[in-house]
Chains A and B, each alone.
Chain A
Amino acid sequence: MADDGVLDEGTETAALREVVAAEHAVVWGYGTVGAALPEDARDPAVAADVAHRDVRDRLVALLESRGAEPVPREAGYTLPFPVLSAVDAATLAVVLEEGVSAAWVRLLDQSVEPAVRELAAAELGAAEVRTVGWRTTAGRIPVTDALPGLP
Protein backbone atom coordinates (compact mmCIF):
# COMPACT_ATOMS: atom_id res chain seq x y z
CA MET A 1 0.00 0.00 0.00
CA ALA A 2 0.98 3.59 -0.23
CA ASP A 3 2.87 5.10 2.66
CA ASP A 4 -0.38 6.43 4.06
CA GLY A 5 -2.14 3.10 3.56
CA VAL A 6 -4.43 4.49 0.89
CA LEU A 7 -4.87 2.58 -2.34
CA ASP A 8 -5.08 4.66 -5.48
CA GLU A 9 -4.09 4.57 -9.12
CA GLY A 10 -0.52 5.21 -8.07
CA THR A 11 -0.31 2.07 -5.95
CA GLU A 12 -2.00 0.10 -8.70
CA THR A 13 0.37 1.37 -11.37
CA ALA A 14 3.39 0.60 -9.23
CA ALA A 15 2.13 -2.96 -8.73
CA LEU A 16 1.42 -3.30 -12.44
CA ARG A 17 5.02 -2.34 -13.13
CA GLU A 18 6.16 -5.03 -10.70
CA VAL A 19 4.12 -7.60 -12.60
CA VAL A 20 5.71 -6.48 -15.87
CA ALA A 21 9.14 -6.89 -14.29
CA ALA A 22 8.18 -10.37 -13.15
CA GLU A 23 6.82 -11.27 -16.58
CA HIS A 24 10.06 -10.15 -18.24
CA ALA A 25 11.97 -12.49 -15.94
CA VAL A 26 9.55 -15.34 -16.58
CA VAL A 27 9.75 -14.97 -20.33
CA TRP A 28 13.52 -15.07 -20.09
CA GLY A 29 13.39 -18.06 -17.75
CA TYR A 30 11.15 -20.09 -20.00
CA GLY A 31 13.86 -19.94 -22.65
CA THR A 32 16.02 -21.92 -20.28
CA VAL A 33 13.17 -24.24 -19.33
CA GLY A 34 12.43 -25.07 -22.94
CA ALA A 35 16.06 -25.61 -23.83
CA ALA A 36 16.48 -28.11 -21.01
CA LEU A 37 13.45 -30.19 -21.93
CA PRO A 38 13.43 -32.96 -24.50
CA GLU A 39 11.90 -31.82 -27.75
CA ASP A 40 8.81 -33.97 -27.31
CA ALA A 41 8.13 -32.42 -23.88
CA ARG A 42 8.44 -28.77 -24.78
CA ASP A 43 4.81 -27.98 -25.58
CA PRO A 44 3.89 -26.83 -22.06
CA ALA A 45 6.93 -24.54 -21.96
CA VAL A 46 6.11 -23.09 -25.35
CA ALA A 47 2.49 -22.52 -24.36
CA ALA A 48 3.52 -20.89 -21.10
CA ASP A 49 6.04 -18.69 -22.86
CA VAL A 50 3.39 -17.49 -25.30
CA ALA A 51 0.93 -16.83 -22.49
CA HIS A 52 3.44 -14.81 -20.50
CA ARG A 53 4.55 -12.78 -23.50
CA ASP A 54 0.93 -12.02 -24.28
CA VAL A 55 0.05 -10.81 -20.81
CA ARG A 56 3.29 -8.86 -20.52
CA ASP A 57 2.49 -7.03 -23.74
CA ARG A 58 -1.04 -6.32 -22.54
CA LEU A 59 0.29 -4.89 -19.30
CA VAL A 60 2.81 -2.74 -21.14
CA ALA A 61 0.00 -1.36 -23.30
CA LEU A 62 -2.08 -0.69 -20.20
CA LEU A 63 0.75 1.18 -18.51
CA GLU A 64 1.44 3.20 -21.64
CA SER A 65 -2.22 4.14 -21.86
CA ARG A 66 -1.87 5.57 -18.35
CA GLY A 67 1.21 7.53 -19.28
CA ALA A 68 3.32 5.31 -17.04
CA GLU A 69 6.64 3.98 -18.21
CA PRO A 70 6.71 0.19 -18.39
CA VAL A 71 9.58 -1.57 -16.70
CA PRO A 72 12.16 -2.59 -19.31
CA ARG A 73 13.57 -6.07 -19.22
CA GLU A 74 16.87 -6.48 -17.42
CA ALA A 75 20.07 -6.89 -19.37
CA GLY A 76 20.46 -10.28 -17.77
CA TYR A 77 19.05 -12.56 -15.15
CA THR A 78 20.64 -15.07 -12.85
CA LEU A 79 19.36 -18.61 -12.61
CA PRO A 80 18.66 -19.68 -9.04
CA PHE A 81 20.30 -23.07 -9.68
CA PRO A 82 21.87 -24.95 -12.57
CA VAL A 83 19.33 -26.34 -15.00
CA LEU A 84 20.81 -29.58 -16.24
CA SER A 85 17.86 -31.90 -16.63
CA ALA A 86 14.16 -32.04 -17.37
CA VAL A 87 13.43 -32.15 -13.65
CA ASP A 88 15.58 -29.06 -13.13
CA ALA A 89 13.67 -27.37 -15.93
CA ALA A 90 10.33 -28.20 -14.35
CA THR A 91 11.59 -27.01 -10.99
CA LEU A 92 12.69 -23.73 -12.55
CA ALA A 93 9.27 -23.37 -14.15
CA VAL A 94 7.71 -23.81 -10.71
CA VAL A 95 9.93 -21.04 -9.33
CA LEU A 96 9.05 -18.79 -12.25
CA GLU A 97 5.31 -19.31 -11.97
CA GLU A 98 5.30 -18.97 -8.20
CA GLY A 99 7.25 -15.75 -8.52
CA VAL A 100 4.86 -14.23 -10.98
CA SER A 101 1.94 -15.44 -8.86
CA ALA A 102 3.31 -13.39 -5.98
CA ALA A 103 3.41 -10.36 -8.25
CA TRP A 104 -0.22 -10.89 -9.25
CA VAL A 105 -1.27 -11.19 -5.61
CA ARG A 106 0.64 -8.02 -4.86
CA LEU A 107 -1.33 -6.34 -7.62
CA LEU A 108 -4.60 -7.57 -6.13
CA ASP A 109 -3.49 -6.09 -2.83
CA GLN A 110 -2.63 -2.73 -4.37
CA SER A 111 -5.23 -2.26 -7.08
CA VAL A 112 -8.29 -0.06 -7.16
CA GLU A 113 -9.90 -0.90 -10.49
CA PRO A 114 -12.18 -3.96 -10.57
CA ALA A 115 -11.08 -4.64 -14.16
CA VAL A 116 -7.46 -4.82 -13.04
CA ARG A 117 -8.40 -7.18 -10.22
CA GLU A 118 -10.31 -9.31 -12.69
CA LEU A 119 -7.24 -9.55 -14.90
CA ALA A 120 -5.02 -10.33 -11.92
CA ALA A 121 -7.33 -13.03 -10.59
CA ALA A 122 -7.59 -14.68 -14.00
CA GLU A 123 -3.85 -14.65 -14.59
CA LEU A 124 -3.13 -15.85 -11.07
CA GLY A 125 -5.41 -18.80 -11.69
CA ALA A 126 -3.76 -19.56 -15.01
CA ALA A 127 -0.33 -19.42 -13.40
CA GLU A 128 -1.38 -21.86 -10.68
CA VAL A 129 -2.79 -24.29 -13.24
CA ARG A 130 0.54 -24.23 -15.09
CA THR A 131 2.38 -24.61 -11.79
CA VAL A 132 0.42 -27.75 -10.94
CA GLY A 133 1.67 -29.27 -14.18
CA TRP A 134 5.26 -28.31 -13.50
CA ARG A 135 5.16 -29.50 -9.89
CA THR A 136 3.91 -32.84 -11.19
CA THR A 137 6.76 -33.03 -13.70
CA ALA A 138 9.26 -32.01 -11.03
CA GLY A 139 7.97 -34.67 -8.65
CA ARG A 140 6.82 -32.15 -6.06
CA ILE A 141 4.26 -33.22 -3.48
CA PRO A 142 1.72 -31.82 -3.05
CA VAL A 143 1.24 -30.58 -6.56
CA THR A 144 -1.16 -27.88 -5.42
CA ASP A 145 -0.85 -24.80 -3.26
CA ALA A 146 -3.68 -23.71 -0.99
CA LEU A 147 -2.80 -20.03 -1.32
CA PRO A 148 -0.81 -19.31 -4.46
CA GLY A 149 1.16 -16.11 -4.37
CA LEU A 150 0.68 -15.44 -0.68
CA PRO A 151 3.64 -15.67 1.69
Chain B
Amino acid sequence: MAPTPAPAPTGPSRRAFLAASAGLALLAAGCTAGSSGGPAVSTEEAERLAGQVTVQEAVVAAYAAATTADPALALSDLSAQAAEQLDRLRAAAPSATSSPAASPAAPPAAPVGADVRTWLRGQLATAAGSHAQACTQQSGARAALLGSIAAGLRGHEAALA
Protein backbone atom coordinates (compact mmCIF):
# COMPACT_ATOMS: atom_id res chain seq x y z
CA MET B 1 0.00 0.00 0.00
CA ALA B 2 1.50 3.29 -1.03
CA PRO B 3 1.09 6.50 0.85
CA THR B 4 -1.45 8.92 -0.49
CA PRO B 5 0.27 11.69 -2.45
CA ALA B 6 -0.92 14.45 -0.20
CA PRO B 7 0.93 17.64 0.72
CA ALA B 8 3.57 16.95 3.30
CA PRO B 9 2.82 18.24 6.76
CA THR B 10 5.12 20.89 8.10
CA GLY B 11 6.75 18.56 10.58
CA PRO B 12 6.31 15.72 12.96
CA SER B 13 4.13 16.67 15.83
CA ARG B 14 2.79 14.49 18.57
CA ARG B 15 -0.06 12.42 17.18
CA ALA B 16 -0.23 14.55 14.04
CA PHE B 17 0.28 11.58 11.77
CA LEU B 18 -2.52 9.55 13.23
CA ALA B 19 -4.85 12.45 13.70
CA ALA B 20 -4.49 13.39 10.08
CA SER B 21 -4.30 9.99 8.47
CA ALA B 22 -6.70 7.90 10.46
CA GLY B 23 -9.42 10.39 11.15
CA LEU B 24 -8.62 10.62 14.80
CA ALA B 25 -9.18 14.29 15.26
CA LEU B 26 -11.05 13.43 18.40
CA LEU B 27 -7.77 12.50 19.97
CA ALA B 28 -6.52 16.04 19.81
CA ALA B 29 -9.49 17.29 21.73
CA GLY B 30 -10.00 14.11 23.66
CA CYS B 31 -10.26 13.36 27.26
CA THR B 32 -8.57 15.48 29.83
CA ALA B 33 -7.95 14.00 33.20
CA GLY B 34 -9.90 15.72 35.86
CA SER B 35 -12.14 17.43 33.37
CA SER B 36 -15.55 18.38 34.50
CA GLY B 37 -18.75 17.37 32.85
CA GLY B 38 -18.37 13.66 33.28
CA PRO B 39 -20.57 11.34 35.23
CA ALA B 40 -20.77 11.85 38.97
CA VAL B 41 -18.12 10.07 40.99
CA SER B 42 -19.36 7.42 43.37
CA THR B 43 -18.04 7.43 46.91
CA GLU B 44 -16.44 4.07 46.23
CA GLU B 45 -14.63 5.40 43.17
CA ALA B 46 -13.44 8.45 45.08
CA GLU B 47 -12.06 6.33 47.89
CA ARG B 48 -10.27 4.06 45.46
CA LEU B 49 -8.74 7.03 43.70
CA ALA B 50 -7.57 8.43 47.03
CA GLY B 51 -5.90 5.09 47.64
CA GLN B 52 -3.95 5.47 44.42
CA VAL B 53 -2.67 8.83 45.64
CA THR B 54 -1.03 6.96 48.48
CA VAL B 55 0.46 4.48 46.02
CA GLN B 56 1.92 7.32 43.99
CA GLU B 57 3.28 9.03 47.10
CA ALA B 58 5.22 5.84 47.71
CA VAL B 59 6.66 6.07 44.19
CA VAL B 60 7.85 9.62 44.83
CA ALA B 61 9.34 8.49 48.13
CA ALA B 62 11.03 5.56 46.42
CA TYR B 63 12.71 7.89 43.95
CA ALA B 64 13.96 10.01 46.85
CA ALA B 65 15.29 6.95 48.67
CA ALA B 66 16.97 5.63 45.54
CA THR B 67 18.58 8.98 44.83
CA THR B 68 19.96 9.09 48.35
CA ALA B 69 21.24 5.54 48.12
CA ASP B 70 22.84 5.96 44.71
CA PRO B 71 23.11 9.54 43.42
CA ALA B 72 24.88 8.27 40.32
CA LEU B 73 21.60 6.92 39.00
CA ALA B 74 20.65 10.46 37.92
CA LEU B 75 16.96 10.08 38.53
CA SER B 76 15.94 13.73 38.45
CA ASP B 77 13.88 13.53 35.24
CA LEU B 78 12.06 10.40 36.28
CA SER B 79 11.53 11.70 39.78
CA ALA B 80 10.05 14.91 38.41
CA GLN B 81 7.66 12.92 36.25
CA ALA B 82 6.58 10.84 39.23
CA ALA B 83 5.85 14.06 41.09
CA GLU B 84 3.87 15.35 38.11
CA GLN B 85 1.83 12.15 38.14
CA LEU B 86 1.16 12.64 41.83
CA ASP B 87 0.01 16.20 41.26
CA ARG B 88 -2.44 15.05 38.59
CA LEU B 89 -3.78 12.33 40.84
CA ARG B 90 -4.24 14.73 43.73
CA ALA B 91 -6.07 17.14 41.47
CA ALA B 92 -8.39 14.35 40.40
CA ALA B 93 -8.91 13.13 43.95
CA PRO B 94 -9.30 16.23 46.09
CA SER B 95 -10.52 14.16 49.01
CA ALA B 96 -7.07 12.63 49.20
CA THR B 97 -5.54 15.95 50.22
CA SER B 98 -8.39 17.46 52.20
CA SER B 99 -9.30 14.50 54.33
CA PRO B 100 -7.49 14.28 57.64
CA ALA B 101 -7.80 10.52 57.32
CA ALA B 102 -5.48 10.57 54.36
CA SER B 103 -2.05 9.81 55.67
CA PRO B 104 1.07 10.21 53.59
CA ALA B 105 2.73 7.12 52.25
CA ALA B 106 5.25 5.50 54.51
CA PRO B 107 8.73 6.09 53.15
CA PRO B 108 10.06 2.90 51.64
CA ALA B 109 12.93 1.21 53.34
CA ALA B 110 16.25 2.32 51.99
CA PRO B 111 17.54 -0.07 49.38
CA VAL B 112 19.99 -2.57 50.74
CA GLY B 113 23.07 -3.47 48.81
CA ALA B 114 24.31 -2.13 45.54
CA ASP B 115 21.39 -2.91 43.29
CA VAL B 116 19.32 0.17 43.91
CA ARG B 117 18.17 0.20 40.32
CA THR B 118 16.58 -3.25 40.62
CA TRP B 119 14.93 -2.29 43.88
CA LEU B 120 13.49 0.85 42.31
CA ARG B 121 12.21 -1.05 39.29
CA GLY B 122 10.40 -3.36 41.66
CA GLN B 123 8.75 -0.42 43.38
CA LEU B 124 7.69 0.99 40.01
CA ALA B 125 6.31 -2.35 38.82
CA THR B 126 4.23 -2.72 41.94
CA ALA B 127 2.82 0.78 41.65
CA ALA B 128 2.12 0.42 37.94
CA GLY B 129 0.24 -2.79 38.56
CA SER B 130 -1.77 -1.16 41.31
CA HIS B 131 -2.72 1.82 39.15
CA ALA B 132 -3.62 -0.44 36.22
CA GLN B 133 -5.81 -2.60 38.41
CA ALA B 134 -7.48 0.45 39.95
CA CYS B 135 -8.06 1.84 36.47
CA THR B 136 -10.41 -1.04 35.68
CA GLN B 137 -12.63 -0.04 38.59
CA GLN B 138 -12.87 3.62 37.64
CA SER B 139 -14.65 5.34 34.77
CA GLY B 140 -14.20 8.28 32.48
CA ALA B 141 -11.32 10.67 33.05
CA ARG B 142 -10.26 8.91 36.25
CA ALA B 143 -9.80 5.62 34.42
CA ALA B 144 -7.89 7.44 31.70
CA LEU B 145 -5.61 9.13 34.21
CA LEU B 146 -4.83 5.96 36.16
CA GLY B 147 -4.18 4.01 32.97
CA SER B 148 -1.89 6.73 31.72
CA ILE B 149 0.07 6.90 34.97
CA ALA B 150 0.40 3.12 35.03
CA ALA B 151 1.79 3.24 31.51
CA GLY B 152 4.13 6.05 32.43
CA LEU B 153 5.55 3.98 35.27
CA ARG B 154 5.96 1.01 32.93
CA GLY B 155 8.01 3.35 30.80
CA HIS B 156 10.12 4.29 33.80
CA GLU B 157 10.74 0.62 34.45
CA ALA B 158 11.88 0.19 30.87
CA ALA B 159 14.14 3.23 31.05
CA LEU B 160 15.83 1.82 34.15
CA ALA B 161 16.32 -1.65 32.68
| A: number of interface residues (CB 8 Å) | 68
B141 contacts the other chain (CB 8 A): yes
State whether A150 touches B144 (Cβ < 8 A): yes
Is A144 in contact with B159, judged by CB distance below 8 angstroms? yes
Could you tell me which residues of chain B, from 142 to 161, have a CB within 8 Å of some CB in chain A? 143-152, 154-159
CA distance A91 to B143 in the complex (A): 29
| Dominant secondary structure at the A interface | helix
- Residues of B113-140 whose CB lies within 8 A of A: 128, 132, 135-140
Answer yes or no: B20 CB below 8 A from chain A CBs.
yes
Cα of A149 to Cα of B33 in the assembled complex, Å: 11
Q: Are B21 and A146 in contact (CB under 8 A)?
A: no
Chain B proximity of A149: nearest CB distance (Å): 5
Is the Cβ of A21 less than 8 Å from the Cβ of B39? no
Across the interface, do A104 and B4 meet the contact criterion of CB distance under 8 Å? no
Within B61-116, which residues are at the interface with A (CB < 8 Å)? 77-78, 81-82, 84-85, 88
Cα A136 to Cα B161 in complex, Å, equals 13
Task: Give the residue of A77, A80, A101, A117 whose beta carbon is less than 8 angstroms from that of B151.
Answer: A101
| Complex contacts, A126 vs chain B, CB 8 Å | 154
Say whether B33 contacts A1, CB under 8 Å.
no
* Binary flags per residue of B1-30, CB closer than 8 Å to A gives 1, else 0: 111101011011111111111111011101
Of B2, B30, B82, B146, the contact of A151 (CB 8 Å cutoff): B30
Contacts of B20 in A (CB 8 A): 78, 80
A-B contact pairs, 10 of them (CB 8 A): A22-B18, A75-B4, A77-B3, A102-B24, A103-B18, A124-B148, A125-B150, A128-B155, A146-B81, A147-B85
Nearest 9 interchain pairs by C-beta: A99-B18, A109-B31, A76-B4, A146-B81, A125-B154, A80-B17, A25-B22, A77-B21, A109-B144
A residues engaging B (CB < 8 A)? 1, 5-7, 18, 21-22, 24-26, 28-29, 73-82, 91-92, 95-96, 98-106, 108-112, 114-115, 117-118, 120-122, 124-129, 131-133, 136, 141-151
Q: Besides the contacts A101-B151, A105-B144, what 7 more A-B pairs have beta carbons closer than 8 Å?
A: A25-B22, A74-B21, A99-B15, A124-B147, A147-B85, A150-B31, A151-B32
